[in-house]
Structure 1
Amino acid sequence: MNRIFIALFLLFVSSQVKSQSDTLSTLPDLPELQTAEYSFYVYDATMGQVVAQSPQKSLTPASVLKLVTTATAMRLLGPDFRFKTRFGYTGKIDHKTGTLKGDLIIKGGADPAFYSEYFPMDYLGVFEQWAYQLKQLGIKQVDGDIIGDASALDDTAIPGGWIWEDMGNYYGAGVYGLTFADNMYRIHFQSPAEAGKQTNVIKVQPKTPGFTLDNRVVSSDEKSDQSYVYGAPYAQQQMVMGAIPKGKNDFVVKGAMPNPPLEAADSLRKVINNLGIEITGEAKASFTSVDGDFHQMAVQESPTLQNIIDVTNHESVNLFAEHLLREIGRKVFGKPTLDEGLKAIKSYWMDRGIDLQGFYQTDGSGLSRSNAICTKTLVEVMLNMYRVPGDEIFFDSLPLAGEDGTLQYFFQGTPLDGKLRAKTGSMERVRSFAGEFTNRNGHQLFFAVIVNNFSGSSYKMGKKLEPWLLTFY
């Protein structure tokens, strides 16, 4: 009798082992993966069980990390939160002569979207309205400066771990208490018809006072932009190197503004001057508060946090994610710094029982290669958002396969076209996806996959992962 029991027990154990071994634990045998590291985790929320998982490895996630930052911001700040930028002046107005004896101040509120191209209608004519308010006060002349007050954040514009090749380019723009126009400028090039020749810079827009650009870009037979802008925050001299397609009369390359608060002040100065009000001083930036006898004249609110997060995840805007990280630090610890934001995020998810083993976050956007995370952590964060009533709106911020954002060219013409939502991530030798979809059986699946150090391009690796993800549909 004991022998029969033991035999049945061993049969049960072997069947369980076989069932577990049948669970998918590897990606397809692709040549590109021979030297790569990868991790994935797929969870069926309808059945409450793991569908597939690999050994969990802490890997560089690239922009998929934005999913953690934006989910935390949605929870802690709330979807209706708005940033505020204030305008006013110091000193006194001499109404007899129409002279303001003091400075004009733009007090930044760490709004990532202030005059952003992603929200043009929200800021349309704001500077003109402010200038007109000066006119209504009878001011004809300002005996003072116009100052961009960026004291809402500290002056650590760039997170640790960002590489020199990224920092001068638009996607590596720094974070400031007064961010302006996506902290981005455009270089307009004219390239000769012959490859290998020096290009000409037609214009730089906008151009901060004192800014100079060392152009070392040549024309090329390549069809895409192969140029890089090199420059550090606050440095008014930048260099652009590499190559752009030959025979172009107006080829645009985007760079990161070295001093956005100064550019904001100078842009407003031009608008005020155009209205006939003279400013005797200069446009300046300040990284310490100029509260003093500040007389507030106007407040400009940002779009809602929900709208900002929607753009952050759909278009993978690094600048927005870095701003959200600092605002999380302000909310939790009263200090809008990189370190406090990172600490707040880790503390928040740890308190909710999320497995943070292997979670090492050094920025909010994923641009730093020092970031590392396990795919199980990403899935658990999404599951937490899914299970709390009201938080389902977060998933609307993720790109929709085959239709928009960074997923526009993925899963087109497949059963997941228009059904799968996911945050994507890519940089050299990094490709990642994390999101959700409903499969053919009506089950809600959440997944994350990260691949590091593969051969070939990031885009091609993403396309190679499509058939694998389709197996779960």
Structure 2
Amino acid sequence: AGVSAGATAGALLLLLLLPALDGCAGRPGTSPTPHTAAPDDAGVARSLDALFESRPYHRTTWGAQIVDVRSGRTLYERNAPRLMIPASNMKLLVTAAALDALGPHYRYRTSLYANGELRPDGTLSGNLILYGRGDPNISGRYVAGPTAIFSALADSLACRGVRRVEGGIVADQSWFDADPTRPDWEAYDLLWWYAAPVSALSFNDNSIDFTIRPGRPGEPALISAAPPSGFYSFRNLSRTVTRVDSGAVALDFKRDPGTNRITAYGDVAADAQTETESFAVVDPAAYAATVFRETLEAEGIAVARDPVTVVSDPRLSPVDSTSRLLAEHVSPPLEAVVNSINLRSQNLHAELLLKTLGKEKRGEGSWAAGIAAERDFLRRVGIADDGVSIRDGSGLSEGNLVTPGALVTLLRHMLRHPHGGIFFGSLPAAGGEGSLRSRFSNSPAADAIHAKTGTLEHVNSLSGYLVPVRGDTLAFSIIANNHGLESSQVVAALDSAVVTVVRGYRGS
């Protein structure tokens, strides 16, 4: 599949923005943009210190650094060398490393192989092998519906004359290792899309999408699942109530351990809005292959054997020099993956990208190899090994640690990088698509901030760029750890800090 028109237009827009970014970053050979008002570093620092030390934020551990990208001058810092939990700010590291190592035009290939012969009657002897290489977007993200890519592969088989598969479907996920999750991810998180298991053969973000609407009071909520498949079973034990009383169990989902038998339970208010929850599957490669088999059958290609077979060990992969390539899906370029990770904070895509980095640069699709490749890049950037501790690509693990100073060093480097415009363009902007959509509206920072958010329990972070209209580009990182406050309270403090900086260096 090619890139959507929207993605192509986005890429063109980023190319058009590059000259403007170059000027902000102060590349060698360009004239620096002078401040129209003299910056008051001391005044900004006093205001930020007062904010971080005021109640109720005074018990929070704050780390921050703000640097003028062009000159390298540090405008403010607080615990800048201190290792802190960054949450999703960790995604900045893997996306930068991947753009550097793989380039924005890198594409994933998902292949269909056969080891048997195609007989004149349209029967394919042997098995049909669905071979994954880590594509995060075998889904409806860039095409019309979650199974559209599988339908296109089925059409390719039909064009070759395939009418029946004598064997079964083999899901080959051996391009990566068989380790699906990190041991320190929270058990409850593993039920949901944001901690879905990682596989070289992934489908629909390795999740089932449940759309929930209230029913009549006293009756179950109206819950539909997509894509429909025999891969999972679903029981609806929910209840629609006039209101969800304090202490009552609100709607939730669970699975029988180790299975894809899923149950919805708890109360849904009769006046609740329609919403969609994405529930993670067990064994994503089998999920992909099962839905693919169901798609083949819906398209008129019969498959003799069921259920599917999953291969995880590369030594047991049925793909060899005698295998025939029948069809192949080629993904949108890596630029689209980077956008999904930074703009929408897609955790699974960050983990798939980290393992891709390991496979392409270290020859092994594992977290260990991906982390080693990421560290290679960070050392070249100037970030010492003791400035970061890496557990995953997404920031979901609380074992990830990074200093605010290291994040700012990375941000400064990327604005001068050949792919800096793409990296910059992947960051959320106030009022735009992504995690800053509802922040900074009607504030002096509304047209200045391009930054990645981060949230875990007791952790909030914000790192990126400030592009004051009348000043130089600033790189910043602000991280809050060890707070016992509501996340919204700490987000308000982060936003207030950013507005303080913009006012101080815009002269407004």
**TM-score normalised over the length of structure 1:** 0.86
Selected match of 1:291 from 311, 315, 319: 319
Q: Identify which range, 126-135 or 375-384, moves more after superposition.
A: 126-135
Match of 1:15 in 2: none
Q: Which residue identity does 2:185 align to in structure 1?
A: W
1:53 matches 2:77: yes
SS of 2:435 mapped into structure 1? helix
1:59-114 deviations in Å (ceiling 9; x for gaps): 2111111011111111011111111111132212221x332221112111111112
Alpha-carbon contact 2:448-2:469 (below 8 Å) kept: no
Match of 1:4 in 2: none
Please give the residue correspondences for 1:6-17 in structure 2 after superposition, counting only pairs within 5 Å.
none
Selected match of 1:156 from 170, 173, 179: 179
1:237-259 deviations in Å (ceiling 9; x for gaps): 34555554345696542201222
Selected match of 2:201 from 178, 181, 193: 178
1:340 matches 2:369: yes
Q: Distance in 2 between matches of 1:36 and 1:242?
A: 35
Match of 2:360 in 1: 331
1:271-320 deviations in Å (ceiling 9; x for gaps): 32233332211241332422144211112111111111012111000011
Q: Using the TM superposition, give the Cα deviation of residue 266 of structure 1 relative to its aligned residue in structure 2, in angstroms.
A: 2.2
Q: Distance in 1 between matches of 2:124 and 2:439?
A: 57
Please give the residue correspondences for 1:181-330 in structure 2 after superposition, counting only pairs within 5 Å.
181-189=204-212, 191=214, 194=217, 199=220, 202-209=223-230, 211-213=232-234, 217=238, 219=240, 221=243, 227-230=251-254, 235-240=259-264, 243-246=267-270, 252-284=276-308, 285-288=310-313, 289-292=317-320, 293-330=322-359
Match of 1:43 in 2: 67
Selected match of 1:409 from 438, 452, 464: 438
Q: Using the TM superposition, give the Cα deviation of residue 263 of structure 1 relative to its aligned residue in structure 2, in angstroms.
A: 2.3
Please give the residue correspondences for 1:1-150 in structure 2 after superposition, counting only pairs within 5 Å.
23-24=45-46, 26=49, 28=51, 29-56=53-80, 57-95=82-120, 97-115=121-139, 117-120=140-143, 125-150=148-173
Evaluate the alpha carbon distance shift between residue 241 and residue 361 of structure 1 in structure 2; reply closer, same or farther with a 3 A threshold.
Answer: farther
Q: Identify which range, 146-155 or 230-239, moves more after superposition.
A: 230-239
Match of 1:5 in 2: none
Selected match of 1:371 from 400, 419, 439: 400
SS of 2:110 mapped into structure 1? strand
Alpha-carbon contact 1:192-1:248 (below 8 Å) kept: no
Evaluate the alpha carbon distance shift between residue 463 and residue 120 of structure 1 in structure 2; reply closer, same or farther with a 3 A threshold.
Answer: farther
Alpha-carbon contact 2:445-2:498 (below 8 Å) kept: no
Q: Which residue identity does 1:265 align to in structure 2?
A: A
Q: Which residue identity does 2:99 align to in structure 1?
A: M
SS of 2:377 mapped into structure 1? helix
SS of 2:124 mapped into structure 1? strand
The number of residues matched between the two structures is 450
Alpha-carbon contact 2:253-2:265 (below 8 Å) kept: yes
Q: Using the TM superposition, give the Cα deviation of residue 189 of structure 1 relative to its aligned residue in structure 2, in angstroms.
A: 4.5
Larger Rg: 1
Q: Identify which range, 252-261 or 184-193, moves more after superposition.
A: 184-193
Alpha-carbon contact 2:231-2:287 (below 8 Å) kept: no
Q: Which residue identity does 1:85 align to in structure 2?
A: T
Q: Distance in 1 between matches of 2:228 and 2:460?
A: 35
Q: Distance in 1 between matches of 2:493 and 2:403?
A: 21
Match of 1:12 in 2: none
Of structures 1 and 2, the one scoring higher in RCO (CA 8 A, sep 6+) is 2
Evaluate the alpha carbon distance shift between residue 453 and residue 255 of structure 1 in structure 2; reply closer, same or farther with a 3 A threshold.
Answer: same
Alpha-carbon contact 1:198-1:216 (below 8 Å) kept: no
Please give the residue correspondences for 1:387-406 in structure 2 after superposition, counting only pairs within 5 Å.
387-406=416-435
Alpha-carbon contact 1:66-1:364 (below 8 Å) kept: yes
Q: Identify which range, 395-404 or 206-215, moves more after superposition.
A: 206-215
Match of 1:11 in 2: none
1:296-352 deviations in Å (ceiling 9; x for gaps): 111211111111101211100001100111111112211110111112212321233
Q: Distance in 1 between matches of 2:147 and 2:337?
A: 17
Match of 1:357 in 2: 386
Q: Using the TM superposition, give the Cα deviation of residue 371 of structure 1 relative to its aligned residue in structure 2, in angstroms.
A: 1.2
Q: Which residue identity does 1:380 align to in structure 2?
A: T
Match of 1:3 in 2: none
Q: Distance in 2 between matches of 1:291 and 1:384?
A: 41
**TM-score normalised over the length of structure 2:** 0.81
Q: Tell me the C-alpha RMSD between the 2 structures.
A: 2.9
SS of 1:406 mapped into structure 2? coil
Q: Distance in 2 between matches of 1:107 and 1:48?
A: 47
Q: Using the TM superposition, give the Cα deviation of residue 40 of structure 1 relative to its aligned residue in structure 2, in angstroms.
A: 0.6
Structure 2: gaps (5+ residues) = 1-40, 503-508
Q: Distance in 2 between matches of 1:376 and 1:233?
A: 42
Match of 1:10 in 2: none
Evaluate the alpha carbon distance shift between residue 459 and residue 157 of structure 1 in structure 2; reply closer, same or farther with a 3 A threshold.
Answer: same
Q: Using the TM superposition, give the Cα deviation of residue 130 of structure 1 relative to its aligned residue in structure 2, in angstroms.
A: 2.5
Q: Which residue identity does 1:290 align to in structure 2?
A: P
Match of 1:465 in 2: 494
Q: Which residue identity does 2:358 align to in structure 1?
A: G
Q: Distance in 1 between matches of 2:240 and 2:142?
A: 34
Structure 1: gaps (5+ residues) = 1-18
Q: Distance in 2 between matches of 1:356 and 1:315?
A: 28
1:377-426 deviations in Å (ceiling 9; x for gaps): 11011111122344232111100112221011111111221321000011
Q: Distance in 2 between matches of 1:232 and 1:316?
A: 28
Question: Percent identity at matched positions?
Answer: 26
SS of 1:407 mapped into structure 2? coil
Q: Distance in 2 between matches of 1:237 and 1:144?
A: 27
